[in-house]
Structure 1
Amino acid sequence: MASTDGSAGRGRRVTTAVVAIALFALVARLLLLGDRIAHWDEARVAYWILDYADTGVFEYQPIIHGPFLQQVNRVVFELFGANDFTMRLVVAALGAALPLAALLFRKRLSDVETVAFALFLAVDPVLLYYSRFMRSDLPLAAFMLFALGFFLRALDSRRPRYVHAGIVALALAFTTKENVLVYLVTWLGALVLLVDRRLLVDHRPFADRDLSFDLQAARERIGAFGTTLRTWVPHLLLAVVEFLVIVVYFYAPRTNGSTPGFDTLLSDPTALPAVIGEATLGSWNAFISQWISGDSQSHAYLPYLGDLVETLVVGSGALVVLAAIGFLADRYADDGPRDLVAFAFYCGFVSVLGYPIITDIMAPWAAVHAVVFLMLPAAVGAGVLYTRARTALSHDDRPGVAAALVIVLLVVGQVGYIGVQNVYLDDQSASNALVQYAQPADDLRPTIEEMAAVSANNRGTDVLLYGDHLVADSPGSRAPGCSDWFNILPLPWYTEAHDMNVSCATEPSGFEQRVNESSPPVVIGLTTDSEFLAANLEGYDERAYVLRTQDTAKTNTTFFLDESRLPKVTTEQSNP
């Protein structure tokens, strides 16, 4: 009884520690969450979410990946408003939940390894940075980690509820991003490697192995399998239904009543087969057309591999080394290698080699999909270090204790420094390996806030864009007004979120006419046109910003703001 109570006590302590780590992870992700100016990708998707909320019209667009964030953030925006904090809130919450997944693996990990796994999921700089970034990579990684954990729990406990939980997590992963298929292929490849390793465990010559066939034993196994199958078939059928319901809900088009869609099913239930078909086969065909039939992955391999490795070295270097130590230590342990540790290391290692092939651009966020697996063998490495340190301490082995402390300080130092510097203090710099090149290099926040303030009380044009580079030849159906979508981001997200009226001019004569007619409080043009603009905007304050960390010559943009139209702060407001 004492042993059982002691085990239960240790279990409660581990659970408490993991929950505390998750709370710390939540604080780390919410801290200054809205400070960084929106990345190009964040702003593009956020703008389309606002468009969806405004029109009620939605269809799956493979170029911006799965519909999870569009569907969920539409509700978040309606409840809490649209800004950079709320835009990233769902991803931050999922990133904070990552440490809780460690509890699903605790039957296959020691207590120390479980807590270390949770801690690394909370503090790894790559996972931390992209938990504060509205992209689908982190949600995909989180859902797949939980799915794997739930399936393992189902295998260990034989409880159907874990199968259903795993299917829900897997279905949600399918709504985030198309490379969920890469996860499944990676899992399959890792399982093949595990099977191969199991076959190689028996080192006896093939002729010496016992290959006799026991008919009675075979019958018993077949009978047991049949009984298990009858027990699980209803749950498996229900799991298929659960999967389809989630996928159809997220992928089905919303048409605002113009044609059959998910939003019209109550008024026209007969449209259900068409809606299901569009959500499943229609989405699949769109995915194939965008990502398989195209040539977006036709690029040199080594530069993309080098970029990904650089991200891993800078962002997670110490933990990746710890993962290699954990994998090797477990592989050659006296009690034999554990399947889970080998599986996780294989998945992480193959992801590092595979993502440079399938990704269409150089992007640090691809490292998320390798890191989320590698943190498990890294936790095993931490367990090895902990055990060696305790042994050295108990034997008064001072060199051993000192060596362990040095390793701990190196890991903590690298993770802590990169976590603070690259995630919080320098989260927009081109020199930061965690920053993707479409991140604005300058802090536009003060100017964006002043633009919102002047537009709130202005009538007519709030923002005038000038120049061929910023103005579209023929506005697209989904692009914001007259602006050139790919050259003005992230500004459309802010102008739409603050309901600014945007107008455009491409020629000097048209520009002068619009300025004379509407006297816009904000004018934006390339810095190369700033001399002309300044000559026609007397009294405006001039601010230059770079809208990308790369291609600065094309994205060096100047804002002209008429500060005289800013709301006046009264004495009562300034001295409460």
Structure 2
Amino acid sequence: MSAADSSEGAVDRVVVALLAITVLALAARFVSLGARPFHWDEARVGYWSLRYLDSGAYEYRPVAGGPFLYIVERYVFGLVGATDATARAVVAAVGGLSPLVALLFRTRLRDSETVALGGLLAASPVLLYYGRFLRGDLPLAVFSLVVVGCAIRLVDDPPERARRYRYLGAAALGLAVASSAFVVATLLCVLVAAMLTVDQRRLVGEGEGTGDRIDALLGRLRGSTRDALGALGVFLAVHLFFYAPRVNGSIRPTLGTVEAAFVGAARSFVGVRVLGRRQGGEHQLLPYLSAHVETLLAASAVVLALAAVGFLVDRYGTGETRPVVAFHAYWAGASLLVFPVVTEESAAWLTVHTVAPAVVPAAAAVGLLARYGSRGLAREDAVPVAVAALVGLALAAQLGAGVAATAYGPTTSENPLAHHAQPADDLDPFVSDVSAAIEGNDGVDVLFYGPTFVPAYDDEPARPPVSDTWGNRLPLPWYLERMGAETDGVRDLRGLESLDERPPVVVAPASEQSTLSARLTDYESSTYRLSLWNREVAVFVRR
């Protein structure tokens, strides 16, 4: 039964409010989108997307992440070119449009809560920061919310209107699976949340006939045989589109392609992400868990506090409990444990998978505050109106401060969302100097020097995985590939002296700067910090 508390006219105002929030969310994500240099993970995605654009060949590799970004980026680069901003535009668009997801939840949320949900999706610091970051975490979180929202509408809407949500949900599920390997952890969190929500309703005395109700819900989700097969077809088509190998930029319509997209992709995923983890991929839980919670508190304390209030009031308040609030609170709670367990690296982007579901109970808390103030206004009581206004302003100010310190803050270790693989220096001068130096050059454009960057064997990074020495160059391969630079490497001075002609650009560890300066007398050198710490390079550009 709908929890909406207003007329059709008010519902229209909700839509207008969410559209306005969406416009602001898009603007917030696209403004200065290319200002921050590429993180190493972003550079990997950008580099392999450029290689796919150039060769037309693509094959799913679990070590490189889900195929969604690679496939879509190829079309983006082909249409508008490759820059830091255009590469991030796909994620920015998904994040910027995410406030519209709140419309899927309005049958279970009040109008004020629906608008608050859209606002939190737009302005939560974690979601805004990683809505401007080329990784699959934000798309996975948004598509997962779409799946849940579509499930809600399948249950709440009349069957003839609900059919479209079955197909939309199937497509969103396919996109979520293609976005990130973390979809497995998300599905686990959702299952845990569903079980805990059912148990909660039994504990508060609302569980009579639970089995029959679950059967009825599953029946509504499944629909008729035709609808179920149609939704399955949509999911399989989306999965095939993203996971099928490409040759010359197109999918070959063969049984081998279908086998590779479904059986081969699953086998590769299990081999790399499950069985491969046994080969030294384990880690201690407590350090990862504490780091995850610490980052959440530093970057998203307001959302977490609101979510806790929303859940506790719904669970222990005098009114009827709402499964939608409990479900998302349990989902966020489960993620606190599941993601630190399944991840291979403790990183700030894991917070996306906790904050995304937490915004639903947080929106319930905002709605509670709004109703408290509106009741005071109706009674012409200034005290609750003032309290609600002051608390609301304080919450908005804290959110704004969090956004300013993270999404638009400096890329230093003091930014809780800045990962250590984020370059500490602006790389625009590097791009400008190297582009000018290699223009018109015939042969090798950029030479990497030293065993840090050059392996003892021939290493042609045609496809992932690649050697650690190539990884040590990140994020420079992205910038060099997009300017069409030809690269090579030598491991020592003997290799450098043996060259018939030295290329216009030489890149070496900063520790080798003085050694090379004595030999590259006709070059000018600059240093760049390619991470927040412990990764500095010297770049020599021929005068």
In the other structure, the counterpart of 1:163 is 166
Q: Deviations over 1:435-459 (max 9, x none)?
A: 1111112112212122112222323
Say whether the 8 Å CA contact 1:297–1:358 is kept in structure 2: no
**TM-aligned CA distance change 1:89 to 1:299, over 3 Å:** same
**TM-aligned CA distance change 1:34 to 1:197, over 3 Å:** same
Q: For 1:227 and 1:114, locate their aligned partners in 2 and report how far apart those are by CA, in whole Å.
A: 27
Q: For 1:290 and 1:8, locate their aligned partners in 2 and report how far apart those are by CA, in whole Å.
A: 52
Say whether the 8 Å CA contact 2:420–2:531 is kept in structure 1: yes
Say whether the 8 Å CA contact 1:475–1:484 is kept in structure 2: no
Shift of 1:227: 10
**Aligned: 1:172 with 2:172:** no
TM-score, normalized by length of structure 2? 0.92
Say whether the 8 Å CA contact 1:461–1:518 is kept in structure 2: no
Q: For 2:86 and 2:34, locate their aligned partners in 1 and report how far apart those are by CA, in whole Å.
A: 8
**TM-aligned CA distance change 1:228 to 1:67, over 3 Å:** closer
Shift of 1:539: 4.3
**Aligned: 1:439 with 2:419:** no
Match of 1:556 among 526, 536, 540: 536
**TM-aligned CA distance change 1:67 to 1:186, over 3 Å:** same
Give the letter aligned to residue 517 of structure 2.
Answer: A
Shift of 1:472: 2.0
Match of 2:497 among 508, 512, 520: 512
**Aligned: 1:449 with 2:452:** no
In the other structure, the counterpart of 1:499 is 484
Question: 86-95 vs 399-408, which deviates more?
Answer: 399-408
In the other structure, the counterpart of 1:407 is 391
Shift of 1:346: 0.4
Gaps of 5+ in 2: none
What's the secondary structure of 2:283's corresponding residue? coil
Q: Deviations over 1:78-132 (max 9, x none)?
A: 1111111111110100001110000110111111100010000001010001011
Say whether the 8 Å CA contact 2:222–2:228 is kept in structure 1: no
In the other structure, the counterpart of 2:446 is 463
**Aligned: 1:283 with 2:283:** no
**TM-aligned CA distance change 1:509 to 1:264, over 3 Å:** same
Shift of 1:31: 0.6
Match of 2:332 among 333, 345, 348: 348
TM-score, normalized by length of structure 1? 0.87
**Aligned: 1:544 with 2:527:** yes
In the other structure, the counterpart of 1:26 is 26
Shift of 1:522: 1.7
**Aligned: 1:85 with 2:85:** yes
Identity across matched positions, percent: 39
Say whether the 8 Å CA contact 2:445–2:486 is kept in structure 1: yes
In the other structure, the counterpart of 1:377 is 361
Shift of 1:381: 0.6
Match of 1:529 among 512, 526, 542: 512
What's the secondary structure of 1:59's corresponding residue? coil
Question: 132-141 vs 529-538, which deviates more?
Answer: 529-538
Say whether the 8 Å CA contact 1:137–1:176 is kept in structure 2: yes
Q: For 2:449 and 2:88, locate their aligned partners in 1 and report how far apart those are by CA, in whole Å.
A: 31
**TM-aligned CA distance change 1:475 to 1:413, over 3 Å:** farther
Shift of 1:402: 4.5
Say whether the 8 Å CA contact 1:319–1:411 is kept in structure 2: no
Question: 92-101 vs 248-257, which deviates more?
Answer: 248-257
**TM-aligned CA distance change 1:203 to 1:452, over 3 Å:** closer
Shift of 1:519: 3.8
Q: For 1:482 and 1:415, locate their aligned partners in 2 and report how far apart those are by CA, in whole Å.
A: 41
Q: For 1:230 and 1:467, locate their aligned partners in 2 and report how far apart those are by CA, in whole Å.
A: 60
**TM-aligned CA distance change 1:195 to 1:482, over 3 Å:** closer
Say whether the 8 Å CA contact 1:57–1:255 is kept in structure 2: yes
Match of 1:187 among 190, 200, 218: 190
Give the letter aligned to residue 263 of structure 1.
Answer: I
Residues 241-390 of structure 1 aligned to structure 2 (within 5 Å) = 241-256=233-248, 263-265=251-253, 271=254, 273-295=255-277, 297-390=281-374
Structure number, greater radius of gyration: 1
Q: For 1:539 and 1:239, locate their aligned partners in 2 and report how far apart those are by CA, in whole Å.
A: 65
Give the letter aligned to residue 422 of structure 1.
Answer: T
Q: For 1:21 and 1:297, locate their aligned partners in 2 and report how far apart those are by CA, in whole Å.
A: 42
Shift of 1:20: 0.7
**TM-aligned CA distance change 1:203 to 1:381, over 3 Å:** closer
Q: For 1:482 and 1:344, locate their aligned partners in 2 and report how far apart those are by CA, in whole Å.
A: 41
Question: 181-190 vs 298-307, which deviates more?
Answer: 181-190
Q: For 1:284 and 1:558, locate their aligned partners in 2 and report how far apart those are by CA, in whole Å.
A: 42
Q: Deviations over 1:123-144 (max 9, x none)?
A: 1010001011110111111111
Q: Deviations over 1:223-279 (max 9, x none)?
A: x9999899611000111111111111111112349xxxx6332xxxxx3x2221111
Q: Deviations over 1:399-428 (max 9, x none)?
A: 5444434432332222111212221131x2
Q: For 1:419 and 1:356, locate their aligned partners in 2 and report how far apart those are by CA, in whole Å.
A: 24
Question: 110-119 vs 292-301, which deviates more?
Answer: 292-301
Shift of 1:345: 0.4
Say whether the 8 Å CA contact 1:98–1:142 is kept in structure 2: yes
Match of 1:416 among 400, 414, 423: 400
In the other structure, the counterpart of 1:61 is 61
More relative contact order in 1 or in 2 (CA 8 Å, sep 6+)?
2
What's the secondary structure of 1:294's corresponding residue? helix
CA RMSD of aligned residues (A): 2.8
Q: For 2:476 and 2:323, locate their aligned partners in 1 and report how far apart those are by CA, in whole Å.
A: 49
Q: For 1:197 and 1:240, locate their aligned partners in 2 and report how far apart those are by CA, in whole Å.
A: 31
**TM-aligned CA distance change 1:228 to 1:369, over 3 Å:** closer
Give the letter aligned to residue 242 of structure 2.
Answer: F
Say whether the 8 Å CA contact 1:140–1:177 is kept in structure 2: yes
Give the letter aligned to residue 538 of structure 2.
Answer: T
In the other structure, the counterpart of 2:148 is 148
In the other structure, the counterpart of 1:119 is 119
Say whether the 8 Å CA contact 1:512–1:536 is kept in structure 2: no
Give the letter aligned to residue 16 of structure 2.
Answer: T
Q: For 2:293 and 2:217, locate their aligned partners in 1 and report how far apart those are by CA, in whole Å.
A: 45
Give the letter aligned to residue 504 of structure 1.
Answer: G
Q: For 2:325 and 2:436, locate their aligned partners in 1 and report how far apart those are by CA, in whole Å.
A: 54
Q: Deviations over 1:3-27 (max 9, x none)?
A: x9x7121011100000110110100
Q: Deviations over 1:134-156 (max 9, x none)?
A: 10111111111111111111111
In the other structure, the counterpart of 2:130 is 130
Question: 394-403 vs 505-514, which deviates more?
Answer: 394-403
Shift of 1:179: 2.1
What's the secondary structure of 1:557's corresponding residue? strand
Give the letter aligned to residue 541 of structure 1.
Answer: E
Give the letter aligned to residue 293 of structure 1.
Answer: L
Shift of 1:173: 0.8
Q: For 2:107 and 2:221, locate their aligned partners in 1 and report how far apart those are by CA, in whole Å.
A: 25
Say whether the 8 Å CA contact 1:471–1:482 is kept in structure 2: no
Give the letter aligned to residue 187 of structure 1.
Answer: V
Give the letter aligned to residue 487 of structure 1.
Answer: N
Q: For 2:221 and 2:95, locate their aligned partners in 1 and report how far apart those are by CA, in whole Å.
A: 36
**Aligned: 1:239 with 2:223:** no
